[in-house]
Amino acid sequence: MRRKRSSTSLKRLLLAAAIGVIAALWTWVRPGNGIWFEPDQGVEASLLDNGFHTDLALPRAALEARGGPLAQAVRSLPPGDWILIGWGDAKFYVDQSPIHHRLPDGARAFFRPGNASVVMLDPAQADPRRIFAPEGREDFRLSDESFRALAARIEASLDLGSGAPRVAAARAGDDARFFASRETFSIGHLCNHWTADLLNAAGLPIRPFQSITSAEVMASVRRGGRDRTELDRGARRD
């Protein structure tokens, strides 16, 4: 009887510990570095949400002026004043066939570790703030320092093994180019995790485990905007 009670107590203790660890990871916040928003100056940017996937929109001129491999990749694109930037599985992300035909490949991308990935650079001639609905968009300005940090994080994702960014895929009739990435895709590192990592590199606090959803990434930007507004108000009062 004592052994049975001890075994039951141990199982309950282990279950409670496991729940505590999961709760801690789920609510864990990776802090930013305080250089996030510039309300009245800096580089304009937008975060775009289609309901399950997030992209960033950044000015082409700013990316090209920075120089380096990312600028080289941007210069190779067709015309467009804005660049939509995303990341995903090298096959599933590029394929645009009906989703019901791609479910087995989606399962492969999610559950098989170490899948090859690509960085999408898609030139857009129209300002994204005019063509994307407000409910699927968060607009903000990056300080020059945070923009450089964000661009460096994008660049770090590119596979530069051949000495320069390499186009891994393109779609007929589509200006988007998909550049080979050195990162791997799986359920532990999805497209929204990647976008959240970029924003964190720029200085935005994020909740890494909750960033599995596009809604959480959008909420992180909204929280960052509110935090910066409160900081500025406090500074003015002082």
Q: What is the DSSP string of 121-187?
A: EEEESS-HHHHS-GGGEEEEEE-HHHHHHHHHHHHHHB--TTSS--EEEE-TT---EEEEEEEEEBT
User: Residue written as tokens 């995303």?
Assistant: 86
Question: What are phi and psi for residue 170, nearest 5 degrees?
Answer: -145, 160
Amino acid in position 232: D
CB-CB contact of 217 with 49 (8 Å): yes
Instruction: Answer yes or no: pTM beyond 0.75.
Output: yes
Q: How many angstroms separate the CA atoms of 17 and 71, rounded?
A: 48
Amino acid in position 163: G
Residues constituting the chain: 238
How many CA atoms lie less than 13 Å away from 182 in the CB half-sphere? 13
Q: How many angstroms separate the CA atoms of 178 and 83, rounded?
A: 13
Query: What is the edge-to-edge ordering of all strands in the sheet holding 177-185?
Result: 137-142, 43-49, 54-59, 82-89, 115-124, 177-185, 167-170
Question: What are phi and psi for residue 6, nearest 5 degrees?
Answer: -65, -40
What does the pLDDT profile of the chain (238 residues) look like in tens digits? 555 556 676 566 555 555 554 544 445 567 876 556 666 678 999 999 999 999 999 999 999 999 999 999 999 999 999 999 999 999 999 998 998 899 999 999 999 999 999 999 999 988 998 889 999 999 999 999 999 999 999 999 999 999 999 999 999 889 999 999 999 999 999 999 999 999 999 999 999 888 999 999 999 999 886 555 444 444 444 5
pLDDT at residue 30 in the model: 78
Give the β-pairing of 167-170 and 43-49. Answer: unpaired
